[in-house]
Chains A and B, each alone.
Chain A
Amino acid sequence: MSPAAWIAAGAFLAAQWRTAGPSGVMRTAAPFVALVLAVRSGLLGGVVAAVAVRLFEETLTLLGRRRRLERLRDASEEPIQAMFEQASLFGSAELCALAALPACGPRLRLLWQRALAEWLRGSASEDAFRQVGRAHGLPLLVQLGRALSLSRRNGTPLARHLAILLEDAAEDRRRRRAAESQTFPYFAATAALAGIVLAAAVWALAAGVGADHWIAIAALLTAGSIPLATARLLP
């Protein structure tokens, strides 16, 4: 390729990185890598490279999704904490939920607003929060719905239910963090090493060195599949 083509490809991939992150770059690059390798080293190399890059990209996507969900789960404690603090000031649960809105992060705010809108439109509080929590994998919102429902039906103070909810949520978060801090650095190092081996194997195949063809294919397969398999071991 000419230098201009390299620069154009680099700029395109950088734009992909900005919009879709590393997994977006891999998703875009995979077919081109497969095509180049199929031409340079045969169909088998191309197919295996496409599969390996796809698997590696799936690992990155999985981790990204997991991280976003974890962050959202942790963030969902904040408005409930705010509701707990407001519960002694306001008699109405609706007002508490409304007053807790500024405590939500940008992504959670949308979900919170949606649940609140449903609730104020007339659906029962438990249904509004339960549905939003279920749809987005946020058990705390589901349980908030339960707390609101119990308080409404039995006339018990909302703060008492929220206190139990917050205490249990904090304990769960502590446990999750402890387990993650023990394993994630090892996983990250393994995945980084797999990425390097994957890139080296693609380079070796593209360079067309015949003797290490099978070693490169074996390296592609293991470096592509191992991070995905080990990511599922993470607590």
Chain B
Amino acid sequence: MTGWLLPVAVLAWIAGGRRRGQIVPYALGALLGPVALLAAGVWAPAGAAVRSAWRRIGSAAAEDAVRRGVPVLLTDLGMAAEAGQPLHAALRDAADYSDGPLAAALQRFGSRVDAGASVAQALEALRRDLGTPQTDRLIGLLSRDAQLGLPLAASVARYRRNWLSEAAHEADRTVAYLPYVFTAVAGLLLLEGIALAAAPWLMSLLGTL
């Protein structure tokens, strides 16, 4: 029943203000009814699909926020290493200078260390918390270097360079397709402009025929 309300309302609204003889609004109204019914019929499965897609978008956004925060974190770790802080203290302090999911994960790391977990255990939990392949590798390497007793400043500087060059490659891949997208969009707009300019002429041509 509700499926019909929208098309009827749209039809009444459009028909009220339009010139007679214009068939498009009526055809649109007649089309909208079955479309709305169909939408109501598939709402339950479609709703589940939408919710799952929404969750995927949410987790992708969180991963993206973590990836964007890592260069700042590495600068921070570089400065902390220069001051002679060990990895776990540097990571714990970095929570105050990060944002979003990265800051939350670093705060949880600090709480675990404060609660008595070993640094290796807390780093493993941080790796799981961040959950992206890139941060997985980075935390793994930093943890290994700390266990081997390698100087943190040198490790951080090396991994920051690697991270940035990988990020640059990824950004290049993403940026490479954008000119095509913009060209396609501009083509669509150009077609619309042409249609807009040619419409009166076309209609008068149709009228003479």
Q: Which A residues are closer than 8 A to B by beta carbons? A: 42-44, 126, 130, 139, 142-143, 145-147, 150-151, 153-154, 156, 160-161, 164-165, 168, 171-172, 175, 179, 182-183, 186-187, 189-190, 193-194, 196-197, 200-201, 204, 209-216, 218-219, 222-223, 226, 230, 233-235
Contacts and interface: CB of A to CB of B under 8 A. Distances in A.
A175 B182 contact: no
Chain B's interface size range is: 35 or more
A200 B13 CA distance: 26
A153 B175 CA distance: 42
Interface of B: 13-14, 17-19, 22, 24, 71-72, 74-76, 78-80, 82-85, 93, 96-97, 160, 164, 167-168, 171, 174-175, 178-179, 181-183, 185-186, 188-190, 192-193, 195-197, 199-200, 202-203
A179 B175 contact: yes
B188 A150 contact: no
A175 B129 CA distance: 28
Contacts, number: 138
Contacts of A187: 182
Query: Which of the listed residues A146, A187, A219 has the most CB atoms from chain B within 10 Å of its own CB?
Result: A146
A51 to B, nearest CB: 16
Given A146-B97, A189-B186, A193-B190, A164 B79 contact: yes
Q: Which 6 A-B pairs have the closest CB atoms?
A: A212-B199, A211-B203, A186-B182, A154-B83, A42-B17, A150-B83
A60 B24 CA distance: 33
23 contacts: A130-B96, A146-B97, A147-B79, A151-B83, A153-B83, A156-B84, A175-B164, A175-B167, A175-B168, A182-B175, A183-B175, A186-B182, A190-B186, A193-B186, A193-B193, A200-B196, A209-B199, A211-B199, A212-B195, A222-B189, A223-B189, A230-B182, A234-B178
Contact of B199 (A171, A215, A234): A215
B97 A145 contact: yes
A43 B75 CA distance: 56
B22 A210 contact: yes
Given A44-B14, A200-B193, A223-B192, A190 B79 contact: no
A219 B171 contact: no
